[in-house]
A and B are shown apart, each in its own frame.
Chain A
Amino acid sequence: MNRNLSSAEKNNRNAETQGKKLMSILPVMLLLLAASVVVATAVGDVYIPFSDTVRIILKKWGLLKNIEFSYGHEAIIFNVRFPRVITAVLVGGALAASGTAMQGMFRNPMADPGLIGVSSGASLGAVTAVALGLTVKSLYFMPVLAAFGAAITALVIYLLAARDKKVPVLTLVLAGIAVGTFISSVTSMILMSLHQQNQIKEFLFWSIGGLNDRRWEHVKLIALPVIICVLIMMFFSKDLNILLLGEEEAQSLGLDPVKARRGLLFLASAATASAISVGGNISFVGLIVPHIMRLILGPDHRVLLPASFFGGSVFLILCDIIGRVMFPVEVNAGIITSLVGAPYFLYLLIMARKGGNLL
């Protein structure tokens, strides 16, 4: 009797913790994000003390009045560092959230947004913008064309793989590889035809992925699509959990896995396309951040998706800080993510080979 009671109590507590898990994670994640935003804004060639950074931000929001700072500091923060950090928040978050959704919908912890050729399509768009000399006219052209290329490629791969309303994962991956390779060669051809050194460098800069010189225009461009896509993904997080049980189990619970997967695939592609249109080909964020988060918080997407979003943001901000501060010359954030991500990926592979559980 006593034992029953205690186990019942324990389960009640369990019920509460389950319900409140997200609520207890969210403040921690937000705090981490805020801290990294402040650090990223303060650190750089010109060092602005943390306290000043916080106060400048608060002043801008009208929370503090009658304080004067040097105009230079305010300008550095608002015109240079702040848009860069917000871009990192959106790009990192979108990539990590999309990666989480992809891994869930394909029941494969190795899936990532690159699977459906978004990156190669975006590269083709970007190189086209460079080759046509559009980048000089307006900074909007490159991201818009990149997003366009990503969307078209994803659609083509999807249509190639879809058969009888079903999308077999293996066919999708194979179609992704084939189309991706094809598009990459087109990209390389265009790249070879470029004559001006600065054009090649411009594309290279984009393709490595980074946050240098990102401005408010970039933020405005992707803020809405990223936020909307991620929010709708979160709306489907329960469905993602059900999808993890497998196709037929999902159907037995009343979820149409084909429809759910198609919707999620669209959202993840759109979010990823937005992210890389501005951030360039930043790799590994969509693969390792969901992994780390799942290790810490478990696979429940109602908690995992928002946590991955913030985790991706923080991770990209930190990579950007490392790239800016730790090396004699500024190193692109896209390089740092790979520098950290590739060894981690290898570690996962070795663990898997040892027969350990991948997750």
Chain B
Amino acid sequence: MGERMVLEIKGLSFSIDERKILKNIDLKVEKGEFIGLIGPNGAGKSTLLKCINGINKAEGSIKVKGCEISKLDGRKIAREISLMHQDTLITFPFQVIDVVLMGRYPHNGRLKGESLEDYEIARRYMKLTETLELSERKITNVSGGERQRVLFAKTLTQETGIILLDEPTASLDIAYQEQIFDYARELSGNGKTVIAAVHDLKIAARYCNRLILMKDGIILADGKPAEVLTAENLKSAYGVNAIIYRNSITGQMDFYISKRNGEKKGTVHVIGGGGSASGVMRYLFERGYTISSGVLWSGDSDLRFAEVFGIKCIKCDPFCEISEEIYQSNVALIKESEFTIISNMPFGNSNIKNLEAALNAKRLVIIEDEPPEIRDYTEGKALTLYNELKSKAIVTTSARLHEIL
């Protein structure tokens, strides 16, 4: 276990002009980890990265492979740790290949030119970052995204065991964002240790095998993505109300940041199904209404939504008829609610009972985005009931729901 430890930080503190940026940080990193450093702006992520490779002279102990970093000279550190900076701007017109080759600086003497081997290493990483064709272009004449990839290639050309990335995807479009993280993960699979400051929590959750959440210079949480990205942690780090769920389409962790404030509004019961009610429920949730919903069948995305958002819900087993018992509990919820909404849902023989239940509504709102005829799968049976309901309801569309609620 001890041999796998590549980085050990104990009691690290760092201040600028008496202001403490990092407070007593302890951290152990093992070989092959891919760590995402997350946290709000000003949490100290970049500062911590710069402490690790000795740019910031911090108090406390930082050991790389057992060696205290303050005792190593710059070149030795640069052979163990590389750092890709956030905002490197090169104003002198170097050729791209020459910039990448500067990554070999800590490996070569002052007077030694770059060997063919150095060129091979540089070219290998340029190919990987798809910058090989920029090779002879001037660094001052490439786009921001291209420059970022060139600097990534330079960082890799340094060939260090520990790679620190300070928001490596800041100016990259989505295709290359994914690519850099893909590649960083591959590197960690090959025994390199990668620590990246990341803004995008979704990407961090997807690629990193460990996340460290920082705020105000301390580590708030440290562990597997699912352990760190909890609503509670995000609340204390970012001050947001996050709803965390597994995206049923991608199977990946996802967030919804709610702007709902404490304000309480009335109660609404939503009758939906087939995904027709999610948008309505999200709207009502943000407005502060207390929502209930039903009857929804297991497996329906509306039910999934209600569960993730903690909405009270009457459910029913898939493909089953609504039993009398379930029907009655739904009616009970409708009677309690100030409003009942029928979403732009499809009508089938199994959910016709939901329309019947709506007859008990105190105030009924019907959302009609599409004509009911094309949503009817009961050969007109449901339509009769629907039109009856319509006669005593306020009819609107999703887009104009805000006029009523």
A244 near B136: Cβ-Cβ < 8 Å: no
Which among A12, A253, A294 is the interface contact of B106 at CB below 8 angstroms? A253
Q: Does B55 contact A (CB under 8 A)?
A: yes
A interface, by DSSP: helix, strand, loop or mixed? helix
Interface residues in A, total, Cβ within 8 A: 36
Chain B 82-118 interface 0/1 with A at a Cβ cutoff of 8 Å (1 = within)? 1101001111111101110011011000110110100
Name which of B28-36, B70-78, B358-366, B367-375 contacts chain A: B70-78
Chain B 38-57 interface 0/1 with A at a Cβ cutoff of 8 Å (1 = within)? 00000000000010011100
Which residue of chain B lies nearest to A246 when distances are taken between CB atoms in the complex?
B88
Q: Does B79 contact A (CB under 8 A)?
A: yes
Question: Which A222-249 residues have a C-beta within 8 angstroms of B?
Answer: 235-236, 238-239, 241-242, 244-246, 248-249
Q: Does A359 contact B (CB under 8 A)?
A: yes
Known contacts A235-B110, A238-B110, A254-B73: does B103 contact A14 (CB below 8 Å)? no
Name the distance in Å between B7's Cβ and chain A's nearest Cβ.
16
Which among A12, A236, A248, A300 is the interface contact of B85 at CB below 8 angstroms? A248
Which among A246, A249, A300 is the interface contact of B94 at CB below 8 angstroms? A300
How many pairs of A and B residues are in contact by the CB < 8 Å rule?
Answer: 105
- Report Cα–Cα, A107/B98, bound state, in Å: 17
Name the distance in Å between A249's Cβ and chain B's nearest Cβ.
5
B102 near A298: Cβ-Cβ < 8 Å: no
A254 near B85: Cβ-Cβ < 8 Å: no
> Which chain B residues lie closer than 8 Å to A302 at the CB level?
113
Known contacts A14-B97, A246-B89: does B74 contact A251 (CB below 8 Å)? yes
A12 near B110: Cβ-Cβ < 8 Å: no
Chain A 70-110 interface 0/1 with B at a Cβ cutoff of 8 Å (1 = within)? 00000000000000000000000000000000001001010
- Report Cα–Cα, A11/B57, bound state, in Å: 40
- Report Cα–Cα, A302/B75, bound state, in Å: 20
B105 near A11: Cβ-Cβ < 8 Å: no
Q: Does B135 contact A (CB under 8 A)?
A: yes
Which residue of chain A lies nearest to B119 when distances are taken between CB atoms in the complex?
A15
> Which chain B residues lie closer than 8 Å to A181 at the CB level?
none
Which among B53, B79, B90 is the interface contact of A245 at CB below 8 angstroms? B90
Interface centre among A7, A107, A254, A359 (most CB of B within 10 A): A254
> Which chain A residues lie closer than 8 Å to B133 at the CB level?
7
A248 near B50: Cβ-Cβ < 8 Å: yes
> Which chain A residues lie closer than 8 Å to B74 at the CB level?
251, 254-256
Q: Does B123 contact A (CB under 8 A)?
A: yes
Known: A241-B94, A249-B85, A359-B91. 11 other contacts (CB 8 A): A11-B119, A15-B116, A18-B97, A109-B92, A246-B90, A253-B78, A253-B103, A254-B76, A298-B94, A299-B92, A357-B140
Query: Can you list 19 A-B contacts with CB-CB less than 8 angstroms, sorted by A residue number?
Result: A7-B133, A8-B123, A11-B119, A14-B119, A18-B98, A19-B114, A109-B91, A235-B110, A238-B110, A238-B111, A242-B102, A244-B92, A245-B99, A253-B78, A253-B102, A253-B158, A254-B106, A298-B93, A300-B98
